[in-house]
C-alpha cells in the first residue's frame, strides 16, 4: 500500500475519527516538509528532526490537536511554532485563514516557500516571538501552540475570541507535558486534559541566529 494512505489508516487506528481532519492530513504531502535525507521516513507515524534543531510533530499528535481544535471553515486560526509548516498546511485546508508565528527566520522562510509551492494562499507565516501572539490580526477563533510552555502566555489567552478554543502542550521541556484544551466561555475558561505529549520548549524572543 502507498505509505501515505497507510499513515491515514494508522491515524484512524490511533483514534482520530474526524473525517475532515483525516482528509486534511491526507492532502498535505509530509515529505515536502522534510530535508532530503529524511523524506524516506515522511509517512512513518513519528516525530522527525527539522532545521534549526527543531522537530516536526508526530502525525498522531497533529491529528489529536487538530481534532480537538474543532476548526470550522469560517475560522481564523493562530498557530505558535510554525516549525516545518506541516501543521499550518493541515489547518489551511480546514480554516478560512491561518496565521503562524515562528522564532527562527530560517524556518519561517522555508515554511513560507513550501506553503506557497502547495498554493495554500490562506496561510500566513510571521517571523517573531509567538509568546506575544500576533495582536495585529487578533482575535482568533482558534489558537494552537506547538511548543511547550508553563504557563500558557497570557497574551495568547487575551487574543482568543469569545467561544474560542486553544490547544497547547503545558509543562517543561524534558519533563511531563500535558496536552490541554481551553475553551473561552461566558463563564470563564474551561479546561480539559487530553493526554501526555512531548514537545520542544516555547522560548522567549525571536532567535538571534539562523
- What residue ranges bind ligand SAH (CB under 6 A)? 54-57, 80-81, 83-84, 86-87, 101-104, 107, 129-131, 146-147, 200, 202-203
When the beta carbons of 14 and 58 are compared against ligand SAH, the nearer one is 58
- Neighbouring C-alpha atoms within 13 Å toward the C-beta of 143: 34
When the beta carbons of 161 and 203 are compared against ligand SAH, the nearer one is 203
Q: In whole angstroms, how close is the CB of 188 to ligand SAH at the nearest point?
A: 26
Q: In what order do the strands lie in the sheet with 140-145?
A: 123-127, 97-102, 76-80, 140-145, 160-170, 177-185, 188-197
- In the residue annotation, 57 being an active-site residue is answered as yes
Q: In whole angstroms, how close is the CB of 9 to ligand SAH at the nearest point?
A: 21
What is the 8-class DSSP label of residue 63? Answer: H
Contact 119, 97 (CB under 8 A): no
Alpha helix segments (H runs only) across 14-85: 19-27, 59-69
Catalytic residue among 23, 57, 100, 208: 57
When the beta carbons of 1 and 23 are compared against ligand SAH, the nearer one is 23
Please give the positions annotated as active site.
Answer: 57
Amino acid at each position: 500500500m502507498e505509505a501515505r494512505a497507510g499513515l491515514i489508516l494508522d491515524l484512524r487506528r490511533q483514534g482520530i475519527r474526524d473525517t475532515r481532519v483525516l482528509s486534511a492530513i491526507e492532502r498535505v504531502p509530509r515529505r515536502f516538509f522534510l530535508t532530503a535525507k529524511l523524506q524516506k521516513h515522511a509517512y512513518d507515524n513519528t516525530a522527525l528532526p527539522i532545521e534549526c534543531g527543531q522537530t516536526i510533530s508526530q502525525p498522531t499528535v497533529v491529528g489529536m490537536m487538530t481534532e480537538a481544535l474543532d476548526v470550522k471553515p469560517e475560522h481564523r486560526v493562530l498557530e505558535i511554532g510554525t516549525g516545518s509548516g506541516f501543521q499550518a498546511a493541515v489547518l489551511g485546508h480546514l480554516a478560512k485563514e491561518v496565521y503562524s508565528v515562528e522564532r527562527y527566520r530560517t524556518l519561517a522562510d522555508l515554511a513560507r516557500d513550501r506553503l506557497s509551492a502547495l498554493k495554500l494562499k490562506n496561510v500566513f507565516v510571521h517571523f517573531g516571538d509567538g509568546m506575544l501572539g500576533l495582536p495585529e490580526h487578533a482575535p482568533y477563533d482558534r489558537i494552537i501552540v506547538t511548543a511547550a510552555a508553563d504557563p500558557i502566555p497570557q497574551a495568547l489567552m487575551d487574543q482568543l475570541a469569545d467561544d474560542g478554543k486553544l490547544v497547547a502542550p503545558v509543562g517543561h521541556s524534558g519533563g511531563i507535558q500535558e496536552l490541554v484544551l481551553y475553551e473561552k466561555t461566558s463563564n470563564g475558561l474551561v479546561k480539559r486534559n487530553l493526554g501526555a505529549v512531548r514537545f520542544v520548549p516555547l522560548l522567549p524572543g525571536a532567535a538571534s541566529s539562523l
